[in-house]
Chain A
Amino acid sequence: MSENVVEVRGLVTRFGSHTVHDGLDLDLKRGEILGVVGGSGTGKSVLLRTIVGLLKPAAGQVRVLGQDIETLSPPAREALERRWGVMFQDGALFSALNVRENVEAPLRAVPDLGPEQRRALAELKVSMAGLPWNANDKMPSDLSGGMRKRAGLARALALDPEILFLDEPTAGLDPIGADAFDRLIVELRDALDLSVFLVTHDLDTLHACCDRIAVLAERKVLATGTMADMLKIDHPWVHEYFHGPRARAALTTGRSKESPDGNQG
């Protein structure tokens, strides 16, 4: 399985005179969990936003599921957008709707889906994201940070996407909550056959669930590979990142990867 669901080639993004990416190449393979790391301001979230079409690249090409979002007609673009799900940092739930209605929102695009089925599906997604039944009727403001992220994940999964984009899924969670979230991502990937693009700072998350890691630095992808590959890289920032005291702690005492998989080349 080496089909690329996301292909980024020669990407250039600029804000005014500030160049964030300059000739960036990146692939996401079907069925893998790719962790994107990098220092603050290296444009991890910008990359995610560019891939899902929220930002327009200055140059270069982004192909998702074999299609270039820039060149698509609006209906085709909509159809493509339904094949991925995005979870934003703080869930980005619609504050006027409760959790169930939030998850139902994308399902409203489906014709011929009755209100009862929509409700049952939304409740299933809420439960799959690991939220208890009584969370359905809660408003986003009544949820803790971790629950908001889970609700955001449930909404991202509403239409059974093929690709899941996660922006800092474990930021701001306590270690137990972060651990549970890592496991949830792997479980969902296995169950729903997802490809996951994961922007993170969390070394434990990288250990626990990422099949491959891409390091963003110097305006491009500096290196990609498994955790073992990362440890061998000589670049000062990469070395510092993966050999610092936190990294060593994560490596030795950290949560081990639970599901060995064979989709890497």
Chain B
Amino acid sequence: MTSSSLPSEHRLTGTVSAGVASLSGDFSVWTLARAKQLIGDARQIDLAGLTRFDTAAALLLLSLQDQGVTLQGLAPTHERLLEAVRKSVPTPDPAKPVLRGLRALLDNTGRRVVRALRFLTELAEYLGRFLAALARSIRHPSEFPLIPLVHHCQETGLRAVPIVALMSFLIGVVLAFQGAVQLHEFGAEVFVVDLISISIIRELGVLLTAIIVAGRTASALTASIGSMKMREEIDAMRTLGIDPDMRLVLPRILALLITLPILTVIANAAGLLGGAIMSWVELGISPSMFRYRMIAETDVDNVIAGLSKAPVFALIIGVIGCHAGMKVGKDAESLGAQTSTAVVNAIFLVIIADALFSIFFAEVGI
């Protein structure tokens, strides 16, 4: 930025003689640098010729006055402005002590640990609220939100079928193709069936379904509950004696609990179908051969191990989505922030839970 880009109407001229700087023209924020240059180290400033005088100029003059410079010739209106600025120059608050080095590191770490622990306790609280609402609806079936439940089953379940099935089908195709290349080296192509069926049924089907649902549904949960929170709808519900846990949290999480296992079964079927087709095309393993080897070699334990994870993943996604929605503040920014954190947290915790399941199954020998 150079002074040549100054709008042409801002002209400040001045002369210095015998320690008195006389300024005339536009003394404003636009000509501040020029004014400083003109004044230099004059001890007295004559301002009789000013046509424009603004707060930025007043601020500069005040700081010069503090250094002992005297002013003269200021017009009454300009004098008034100078006084107004003098009155409202802010006095800074004492700065807060800033922690440095090791103490700052400890302070930060401590805060983060506390925040993480608080996050986990809040998740436990929301799980508890969901279970309490479920128990209440069993005791009072008339309060059960059946229509919302069906609606959310459609949203989180039925609507997700195409994407889940397609993704799983393609994973089956990829597995068969990659497995075939590697196993061909040993002449053990037929083991591709074991590879596909065990990996899909036990791990990939449920995990990938959960990740897709976490992306789709956790964000939708946060956005829908969050926008209600933003517009104070949730507070309104409470004052009307409607329990938000019952009306909002229960149907959403329950819909996930119902639909995620079903989606997993669909994903498994699609993945096996993709694998079987690819094995047939690429390796010449006929569908009946595929079926025979699959039944002979793949234990039903694998199905149990895979499907047993689905409800846990569903709870994780639902609880995180609802919790993040309830955390939304009054502005749209926090809605966006909470939505993306909800998705990240849901996927992250789903993968952690999957790892824990793997360790658990290995220990008990399923």
Question: Is B80 touching A190 in the complex (CB atoms < 8 A)?
Answer: yes
Given A121-B59, A124-B85: A113 touches B80 (CB 8 Å cut-off): no
What chain A residues lie within 8 Å of B89 (beta carbons)? 124, 127
Q: Given the complex, which residues of A lie within 8 Å of B332, measured CB to CB?
A: 95
> Contact between A133 and B54 (Cβ–Cβ < 8 Å)?
no
A142 CB to closest chain B CB (Å) equals 9
Interface of A, helix, strand, loop or mixed by DSSP: helix
Question: Does A202 sit within 8 A of B, measured CB to CB?
Answer: no
B33-A113 in contact (CB<8A): yes
Q: A17 in the interface, Cβ–Cβ < 8 Å? A: no
Interface residue from A95, A111, A128 paired with B5 (Cβ < 8 Å): A111
Residues in B with CB closer than 8 Å to A140 are 331
Structural contact, B90 and A110, CB atoms closer than 8 A: no
Contact across chains for B77 and A79 when beta carbons are under 8 A apart: no
Measured in the bound complex, the distance between the Cα atoms of B55 and A79 in whole Å is 18
User: Given the complex, which residues of A lie within 8 Å of B9, measured CB to CB?
Assistant: 79
- Contact string, B320-348, partner A, CB cutoff 8 A, digits 1/0? 00000000011111100000000000000
Do residues A123 and B90 form an inter-chain contact, with CB atoms below 8 A? yes
Q: Is the beta-carbon distance between B85 and A113 smaller than 8 angstroms?
A: no
Contact A133 B84 (CB under 8 A): no
Size band of the interface chain B makes with A:
35 or more
Q: Chain A residues near B55: list those with CB within 8 A.
A: 121, 124-125, 128, 157, 160, 192
Task: Determine whether the beta carbon of A110 is less than 8 Å from that of B80.
Answer: no
Q: Which of B1, B29, B34, B93 contacts A159 (CB 8 A)?
A: B29
Residues of A within 8 A of B32 (CB): 110, 112-113, 117
Query: Smallest Cβ distance from A134 to chain B, in angstroms?
Result: 6
Check if B142 is an interface residue, CB within 8 A of chain A.
no
Listed residue (A96, A121, A134, A157) with the most chain B CB atoms within 10 angstroms of its CB: A121
Q: Name the contact of B3 in the complex, choosing from A112, A123, A124 (C-beta under 8 A).
A: A112
Q: Tell me whether B20 is interfacial, beta carbon within 8 Å.
A: no
Q: A126 near B7 (CB under 8 angstroms)?
A: no
Counting chain A CB atoms within 10 Å of each CB, which of B2, B5, B29, B334 scores highest?
B29
How close is B365's CB to chain A, nearest CB, in angstroms?
A: 53
CA distance A177 to B348 in the complex (A): 47
* B68 contacts across to A, CB distance below 8 A: none
- For residue A123, give the distance in angstroms from its CB to the closest CB of chain B: 5
B89 to chain A, nearest CB (A): 6
In whole angstroms, what is the CA distance A141 to B337 when docked? 13
| A228 contacts the other chain (CB 8 A) | no
A141 to B91, CA, bound (A): 24
Contacts of A95 in B (CB 8 A): 331-333
Asked whether any CB of chain B lies closer than 8 Å to the CB of A193, the reply is yes
Residue of A nearest to B1 (CB): A111
* B6 interface contact, C-beta 8 A: yes
**Chain A residues within 8 Å of B83, by CB:** 191
Whether the pair A128, B29 counts as a contact (CB closer than 8 A) is no
**Given known A160-B28, A190-B80, A191-B80, contact A141–B33 (CB-CB < 8 A):** no
A207 to B97, CA, bound (A): 47
Interface residues of chain A, those whose CB is within 8 Å of chain B, are 75, 79, 95-96, 107, 110-113, 117, 120-121, 123-128, 133-134, 140-141, 157, 159-160, 187, 190-193
15 contacts between A and B (CB under 8 A): A79-B9, A95-B331, A95-B333, A110-B29, A112-B32, A113-B33, A124-B59, A124-B88, A124-B89, A133-B90, A133-B91, A133-B93, A141-B333, A187-B84, A191-B84
> 8 closest A-B pairs (Cβ-Cβ)?
A191-B84, A160-B54, A112-B33, A127-B90, A111-B1, A141-B331, A128-B88, A127-B88
Beyond A124-B90, A191-B80: 6 further Cβ-contacts under 8 Å? A95-B332, A111-B1, A112-B6, A124-B55, A133-B91, A141-B329
